[in-house]
Amino acid sequence: MADPTFDIVSKVDKMEADNALHQAQKEIAQRYDFKNVGAEVDWSGEKLLLKASSEDRVKAVLEVLEAKFIKRGISLRSLDAGEPYASGKEYRIDISLKNGISSEDAKKISKIIRDEGPKSVKSQIQGDELRVTSKSRDDLQATMTLLKGSDSIEVDLQFVNFR
């Protein structure tokens, strides 16, 4: 029988992100402090685009959106928010959703597993995900706990295909 394994991935559920966006749009439309400031949030291709008449208002729109993402169970590590920038008479923030694990993040995760994880655990980078293998299921679960508690990882991790 093959050794127990699991995969480490970083994916954002597009439907959950869309639901969070719609909830944020509803709240922005109803809130008094967003009246007449041109505050809006919407998809712009694969990115989210936040708009408002001032830098402070666009940051407030970002806070509303982040709160809705948290409520929908999407980690803020999955958001890559840029800085507010002026565009004509309004301020904007572009936000992209991180999908997949970059090669440098994958190397960082592998190093954490090698240095701090149980000795029997091996990791292997496969594209934008990692495969973790060990003889012991308990060691794999200890590795999951280690990675969940690590502060040095800047991406949201999900553990799938645990066999």
User: In the chain, what are the domains?
Assistant: 5-11+101-160 (3.30.70.860), 14-97 (3.30.70.990)
pTM of the complete model = 0.83
Block residue for tokens 């994880």: 117
The percentage of the chain sitting over the pLDDT mark of 70, rounded to a whole number, equals 99
Q: How confident is the model at residue 1 (pLDDT cuts 50, 70, 90)?
A: low
* Two structure tokens written together for 93: 């923030």
